[in-house]
Amino acid sequence: MPTTAPSARGLACVVALVLVPTLVGCGGEPGGDDAPGPSPAATAATASPEPGASPGARPAYAADEADRAAVDAMLAQRAQAVRVRDEAAFLATVDDRDPRLVAQQRTLFANLARLRLARYDYETTGDQLLPDPVRRAGPREPVVRFQTVEHTQVADALTGAVGNVVRMTYVRRDGRWLVGQEKAAEQVAGGEGHLRPWFGGPVDVADRGTLVVLTDAADAGLADALADIVEESVTADAALLQVAPDRQVLVDATGNGPTVRLNTVDEEEAAAIYTGVFDVDAQGRRTTLSGGTIRINPDLTAAELTGDPGLLRHEVVHLLLRRYTGVLPMWLSEGVAEYARWYPLTTRDLRVTPELWQRVQAAPHRLPGAGVFQLDPAVNYLVSQAAAQHLLARGGPVALRSLLEGYRSGVDAGAGVDDGDLTDRLLADVYDTTEAEVVDGAWDALGELDR
């Protein structure tokens, strides 16, 4: 949490954990690992269709099916070059009149070559979008931009391909279609699950089988250090919550992707987020769930990441409990993750600023749901942690699993994740308690915060 750290009352052996003041660890939104759907604004969508030509605007060159077939053949050659790690064949699909484009594409190939790929290919539609400028394209050298999707499956870490709508413009030189420009795809609101860390700057990779970590190449050794932390976090969190270990995840700690907004009020960003990733069809619509990713804010330094293992313990909880993603109220999913993030410390061992302490005490005495959680995440993470702490103290991990399964069954039967009647019934059945008693227990714990 911002401005939150172990107090002097905490365990003497615990190293102080301090995050960048504007960053908070957080997991995916409800629905982040849910079933595929057509909405491009869903929080875990890996890619959304590029905005096409504005009304009334038309590409200058009207490509026909023969042009598209030639582009598809070039893209097939390009994908094959990636799969067999043939840099010369890959660069043969790139317009060599633009040195910056060649350098960009050489880096893209090098990044992909560092990954074990189970699948890599492209798909286009006949839809023509406004092309981006191509260097030194003459009047007899047509330029076109088809809707193009890149399908990439990192072996073992992902269960299927991740689909990304890529912003590639094609140019015909001497009768051959080539990649004439590639830009980072524009991200629509809610597209936090975007996953394409291989496009951008050079990356380093730690490959631990089902666990793959990508970092900027300039951060030498960080990928392996983060992989160690994730493995240790999986072991610790699985033991704490008494669930099966799960190490199948791709961790993106590169600067090649967007940061994730934490709330709807200001520019506060997430320190990290776990979210599901999906394949998409040629139109950019979700088709199948392909696994999960932990996206780490690129503004965090290597020292901050390796000095705060609790940050990844929070996200690992979302990984371990991903079968419940989308069926739990936010106070419960984030509360359990924060409980593990600070364990063995409790709220009484944490120090907050006087200003945050006052906000906590003045906050409405309720369990924060998705509708209000992001209005003041610094407060609501603490409230949720205290509520989860109260429940775990009362029934341990066995009762917690019963609660999680109860929510899963209830939502499957048609209840909403924030359905008060469902919460009342589950708390009574599992803990013989009420929501009011859980709230009271949480605020009793919050009253012990050190300031």
3-state secondary structure 322-358: HHHCCCCCHHHHHHHHHHHHHCCCCHHHEECCHHHHH
Instruction: Summarize pLDDT for 76-118 with one digit per residue, the tens.
Output: 999 999 999 999 999 999 999 999 999 999 999 999 999 999 9
Instruction: Summarize pLDDT for 135-180 with one digit per residue, the tens.
Output: 988 888 999 999 999 999 999 999 999 999 999 999 999 999 999 9
Instruction: Summarize pLDDT for 360-419 with one digit per residue, the tens.
Output: 999 999 999 998 998 999 999 999 999 999 999 999 999 999 999 999 999 999 999 999
In this model, does residue 55 exceed pLDDT 50? no
Two structure tokens written together for 153 = 């499956």
Q: What integer best gives the mean pLDDT of the chain?
A: 87
**Which of 24, 20, 1, 33 shows the shortest CA–CA distance to 304?**
20
Two structure tokens written together for 211 = 């666990």
- CA distances to 47, 72, 126, 146, 191 from 129, in Å: 17, 16, 10, 6, 21
Enter the pTM of the model. 0.88
**Which of 300, 59, 278 shows the shortest CA–CA distance to 161?**
278
Radius of gyration of the chain (CA): 24
Q: Which range among 32-46, 257-271, 286-300 shows the weakest confidence by mean pLDDT? A: 32-46
Which domains can be identified in the chain, with CATH numbers?
Answer: 5-41+198-446 (1.10.390), 65-183 (3.10.450.50)
pLDDT at 18: 29
List % helix, strand, coil for the chain (3-state, nearest 5): 35, 20, 40
Average pLDDT for residues 56-70, to the nearest whole number? 82
